[in-house]
DNA sequence: CTGAAAGCGCTAACAT
DNA sequence: ATGTTAGCGCTTTCAG
């Protein structure tokens, strides 16, 4: 089948017997046009299956493209998927489209993606920063009027808007929940690398709770890992300590999966208390139900979109950080005796 | 802060004292260039922070834009997120970028998204079709050389490539697993509307298994619902029948959540067997472990990308359907006595 | 109400 | 090895 050339404005104009500009006027409801020409133009458009070339339009108009560039670590993680959904909800009504890519937490890939997005002249750039990424190169873009929003974690080397969960307060609340049940030795299983923003904040919340309860910080109770198997191993190590913890705090959903699994396999699920950061689908069905500090990823996305749209509307105030609250959802696993 | 105009090729050319075409040549490694001009051009590019305008380039070159348009029902569903991740993996090395939107299973929104993507002259269009959507309008696009791939479900009104899970065989295997344990009355909890492709195929697999076991099809055992609460209600109704089923098949992950929850709450988790279509994160940790027919969403995405890239490379053979296999993961819940 | 000409930023096709 | 001209598909600007 021959690759027929797509019809252009000129084709439609020729078909109708008017100038290209007239067709453009009708389609964009720019300037006036007689009802009759209007009808004939629309008819020809439908007949030819004409679709205006948005790229050509954008290049002429000169403004940014009607896209929002979004970089996340991993598209398959429902947390980031839901964030993206929240963003899309908020930008759709403004006629903006989402351009997405995943960095796999790699600074180089992140840079490559943001460069591509910049070359596409996105209207807004949103990034979940990778650990070692530097964002100094975005300064000039921001200066030139491009809204830049960091999601889930702050960017580095640049003052830009940022939307994050209240990791510290959320963790403090989760750990306080365990302390309230009488636990005095609480293990913390966190991310790797320790310098990851969310890990740092959550660990800070853990320490806050200990300080408030006038308990010492014992670094033997703090372990870092980055996958499910590692988390299982971490649980084993913690419970094998001379003075083992009676409760555990799993600082993210991956680690939580590993911890829940290990406790279940070793028959200690009703024996060791557990609270996790970030909710999971079957959390309420487990026995005992998994108590979590739930984040609000959709709201994270919506807040980021709101911030960016305000910038597009001319808001030139200084960069701000929006903190989205978390919610402790008690389902039982945090209420086991010491 | 003044919105400084972005530098263009001409700006770089002026800065260096060469023609725009020379700069273009250096940047695209087109034609020859003396090492010296090359160095000076690259220097000026870096100094000015020049980034070529991809849209302008594309419009001149005339080909499609280097983007892949993808419509999914819901970005937050990890199944579709993982599909998207698989696609991205496969297209990145070709320099293609993902343009995404969610339809919320609404034909109108789906159409709006595909129209936007077409106006952007995407290189490839991938769609998870909404139930009532018609795709006749894509015929001319396909004829004009645009690769169109339907994902997870076939499109309607057009012959185009399609990549789906083996819903029927997978369900047959899952139900056969239950039959093998001696169950003779097996409830089926499926999607709404019944005409949804995946629902139909899975129901067909269920019937296949019954036929093979020479058991009658009892439509009192088949219920449709579309959310977790509905699934819980469906379980209650099925178990309240005069001759209740001794096993259940949950035809998707949402329904599975509801079924697992209801069985757990009513203390019948060890009493009623259960197999679900599509895997879930904590499935292995439940007691009993949830037996599932696992799909392979990443492979679904990669296969779709492979098909589309082959089309871009000139494959003009007739539209084909790629079926991605499923895997029965037995974890216990399917092995409970009758 | 409509059209002609110019030009957005870039590259193909021909010079030189 | 580099420059010139023309033009991608559209809209702006200015005339009618």
The pLDDT tens digits for A14-25 are: 999 999 999 999
Q: Is the pLDDT of residue A10 over 60?
A: yes
Read off the pLDDT of each residue in B292-316 and give the average, rounded to a whole number: 97
Ramachandran area for residue A49 (φ above 0: left; ψ -120 to 50: alpha; else beta): left
Q: Are A65 and A122 in contact (CB under 8 A)?
A: yes
Tokens of A192: 């790797």
Read off the pLDDT of each residue in A59-66 and give the average, rounded to a whole number: 92
Cα angle A69-A327-A174, degrees, rounded to a multiple of 5:
115
Quote the CA–CA distance of B63 and B184 in Å, as a whole number.
Answer: 59
Q: Are A299 and B276 in contact (CB under 8 A)?
A: no
Which residues are within 7 Å of strand C by their Cβ atom? A 17-22, 25, 31-34, 36-38, 56, 59-60, 62; B 5-6, 8-10, 20-21, 24, 27-28, 30, 52-53, 56-57, 59-61
**Which helix (H) or strand (E) covers residue B137, if one does?**
none
Tokens of A337: 């005796």
Q: Are A123 and A283 in contact (CB under 8 A)?
A: no
Tokens of B12: 């770089």
Name the protein residue, with chain letter, whose CA is nearest the C1' of D3.
Answer: B19
Tokens of A154: 């702050």
Which residues are within 7 Å of strand D by their Cβ atom? A 5-6, 8-10, 20-21, 24, 27-28, 30, 52-53, 56-57, 59-61; B 17-22, 25, 31-34, 36-38, 59-60, 62
Q: Which residues of A touch B76 (CB under 8 A)?
A: 78, 81-82, 84-85, 297-298
Tokens of B272: 């009623």
Q: Which one of B55, B89, B263, B305 would you mutate to disrupt binding with A, by most A Cβ within 10 Å of its Cβ?
A: B55
Beta carbons within 8 Å of B93's beta carbon, 6+ residues apart: none
Q: Which residues of A touch B102 (CB under 8 A)?
A: 85, 88
Instruction: Give the distance from residue B210's alpha carbon to the nearest chain A alpha carbon, in angstroms.
Output: 30
Instruction: Give the distance from residue B315's alpha carbon to the nearest chain A alpha carbon, in angstroms.
Output: 12
Confidence of residue B1 (pLDDT cuts 50, 70, 90): very low
Q: Is the pLDDT of residue B337 over 90?
A: no
% of chain B at pLDDT higher than 70 = 99
Confidence of residue B3 (pLDDT cuts 50, 70, 90): low
For residue A42, count CB atoms less than 10 angstroms from its CB and return exposed for 0-12, middle for 13-18, buried for 19 or more.
middle
Can you give the distance from the CA of residue B56 to the C1' of nucleotide C7 in angstroms? 13
> What does residue B67 show for φ and ψ, rounded to 5 degrees?
-130, 155
- The answer to whether the CB atoms of A143 and B4 lie below 8 A apart is yes
Tokens of A314: 């001319």
Q: What is the mean pLDDT of chain B?
A: 95
Tell me which residue of A70, A124, A74 sits closest to A99, measured CA to CA: A70
DSSP assignment string, B163-227: EEE-HHHHHHHHHHHHHHTT---EEEEE-SSTTSHHHHHHHHHHHHHHHHTT----GGGEEE--S
The pLDDT tens digits for A84-113 are: 999 999 999 999 999 999 999 999 999 999
Cα angle A18-B117-A116, degrees, rounded to a multiple of 5:
115
**3 state DSSP class of B309:** helix
Q: What is the reported pLDDT for A3?
A: 56
- The answer to whether the CB atoms of A81 and B85 lie below 8 A apart is no
Can you give the distance from the CA of residue B35 to the C1' of nucleotide C16 in angstroms? 21
Tell me which residue of B24, B337, B29 sits closest to B183, measured CA to CA: B337
Q: Are A130 and A106 in contact (CB under 8 A)?
A: yes
CB-hemisphere CA count at 13 Å for B13? 13
Among partner residues A76, A144, A282, which is closest to B85 by beta-carbon distance? A76
Terminal Cα distance for chain A, rounded: 74
The pLDDT tens digits for B70-118 are: 999 999 888 999 999 999 999 999 999 999 999 999 999 999 999 999 9
Can you give the distance from the CA of residue A5 to the C1' of nucleotide D15 in angstroms? 33
The full set of domains in chain A, from first to last, is: 9-52 (1.10.260.40), 67-165+297-324 (3.40.50.2300), 167-296+328-335 (3.40.50.2300)
Q: Which residues of B touch A297 (CB under 8 A)?
A: 76
Quote the CA–CA distance of B17 and A9 in Å, as a whole number.
Answer: 37
Beta bridge partners of B247: B186, B273
Q: Which residues of A touch B285 (CB under 8 A)?
A: 257, 260-261, 264, 282, 286
Q: What is the mean pLDDT of chain A?
A: 95
Can you give the distance from the CA of residue B21 to the C1' of nucleotide D4 in angstroms? 10
Q: Is the pLDDT of residue A221 over 60?
A: yes
- The answer to whether the CB atoms of A76 and B260 lie below 8 A apart is no
Tokens of A71: 């970089």
Tell me which residue of A212, A218, A104, A223 sits closest to A168, measured CA to CA: A212
Among partner residues B54, B77, B115, which is closest to A120 by beta-carbon distance? B54
Beta bridge partners of B300: none
Confidence of residue A63 (pLDDT cuts 50, 70, 90): confident
The pLDDT tens digits for A271-288 are: 999 999 999 989 998 989
Read off the pLDDT of each residue in B320-325 and give the average, rounded to a whole number: 98
% of chain B at pLDDT higher than 90 = 90
Instruction: Select the more confidently predicted residue: B327 or B1.
Output: B327
Instruction: Give the distance from residue A321's alpha carbon to the nearest chain B alpha carbon, in angstroms.
Output: 20
- The answer to whether the CB atoms of B97 and A102 lie below 8 A apart is no
Q: Are A31 and A41 in contact (CB under 8 A)?
A: no
For residue A84, count CB atoms less than 10 angstroms from its CB and return exposed for 0-12, middle for 13-18, buried for 19 or more.
buried
Count A/B contacts: CB-CB distance under 8 Å. 160
For residue B136, count CB atoms less than 10 angstroms from its CB and return exposed for 0-12, middle for 13-18, buried for 19 or more.
exposed
Q: Are A121 and A54 in contact (CB under 8 A)?
A: no
Quote the CA–CA distance of B328 and B293 in Å, as a whole number.
Answer: 4
Read off the pLDDT of each residue in A114-142 and give the average, rounded to a whole number: 96
Q: Which residues of A touch B84 (CB under 8 A)?
A: 75-76, 100
Among partner residues A67, A88, A119, which is closest to B102 by beta-carbon distance? A88
- The answer to whether the CB atoms of B75 and A82 lie below 8 A apart is yes
Q: Which nucleotides of chain C are near protein (any atom < 7 Å from a CB)?
A: 1-5, 7-13
Beta carbons within 8 Å of B1's beta carbon, 6+ residues apart: A143, A145, A316
Q: What is the reported pLDDT for B50?
A: 93
Q: Is the pLDDT of residue A299 over 90?
A: yes
Tokens of B302: 């990669």
Tell me which residue of B207, B271, B209 sits closest to B239, measured CA to CA: B271
Task: Tell whether omega for the bond before B193 is within 30 degrees of 0, i.e. cis.
Answer: yes
Residues in chain A: 338
DSSP assignment string, A177-246: HHHHTT---EEEEE-SSTTSHHHHHHHHHHHHHHHHTT----GGGEEE--SHHHHHHHHHHHHTSSS--S
Global pTM value: 0.94
Q: What is the reported pLDDT for B281?
A: 87
**Quick one: chain B helix, strand, coil %, rounded to 5?**
45, 15, 40
Q: What is the reported pLDDT for A1?
A: 43
Q: Which nucleotides of chain D are near protein (any atom < 7 Å from a CB)?
A: 1-5, 7-13
Tokens of B163: 């990549």
Read off the pLDDT of each residue in B151-162 and give the average, rounded to a whole number: 97
Read off the pLDDT of each residue in B163-184 and give the average, rounded to a whole number: 98
Can you give the distance from the CA of residue B302 to the C1' of nucleotide D8 in angstroms? 33
Strands B247-250 and A97-102: unpaired
């Amino acid at each position: 089948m021959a690759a027929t050339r797509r019809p252009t404005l000129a084709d439609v104009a020729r078909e109708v017997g008017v100038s290209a500009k007239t067709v453009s006027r009708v389609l964009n409801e720019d300037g006036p046009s007689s009802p009759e020409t209007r009808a004939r133009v629309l008819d020809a458009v439908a007949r030819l299956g004409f679709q205006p070339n948005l790229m050509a339009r954008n290049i002429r108009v000169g403004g940014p493209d009607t896209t929002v560039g979004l970089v996340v670590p991993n598209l398959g993680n429902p947390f980031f998927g839901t964030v993206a959904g929240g963003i899309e909800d908020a930008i759709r009504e403004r006629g903006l489209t989402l351009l997405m890519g995943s960095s796999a937490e790699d600074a180089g890939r992140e840079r490559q993606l943001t460069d591509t997005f910049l070359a596409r002249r996105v209207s807004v750039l949103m990034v979940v920063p990778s650990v070692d990424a530097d964002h100094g190169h975005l300064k000039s873009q921001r200066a030139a009027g491009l809204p830049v929003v960091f999601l889930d974690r702050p960017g580095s080397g640049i003052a830009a808007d940022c939307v994050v969960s209240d990791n510290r307060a959320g963790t403090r609340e989760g750990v306080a929940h365990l302390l309230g049940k009488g636990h005095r030795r609480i293990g913390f299983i966190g991310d790797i690398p320790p310098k990851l923003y969310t890990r740092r904040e959550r660990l800070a919340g853990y320490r806050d709770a200990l300080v408030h309860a006038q308990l010492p910080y014992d670094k033997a109770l703090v372990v870092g890992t980055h996958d499910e198997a590692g988390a299982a191993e971490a649980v084993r190590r913690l419970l094998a300590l001379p003075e083992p913890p009676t409760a555990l705090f799993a600082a993210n959903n991956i680690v939580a999966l590993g911890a829940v699994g290990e406790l279940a396999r070793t028959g200690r699920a009703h024996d060791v208390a557990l609270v996790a950061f970030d909710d999971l689908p079957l959390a309420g069905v487990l026995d005992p139900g998994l108590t979590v500090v739930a984040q609000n990823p959709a709201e994270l996305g919506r807040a980021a979109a709101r911030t960016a749209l305000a910038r597009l509307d001319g808001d030139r105030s200084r960069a701000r950080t929006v903190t989205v609250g978390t919610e402790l959802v008690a389902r039982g696993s945090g209420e086991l005796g010491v």
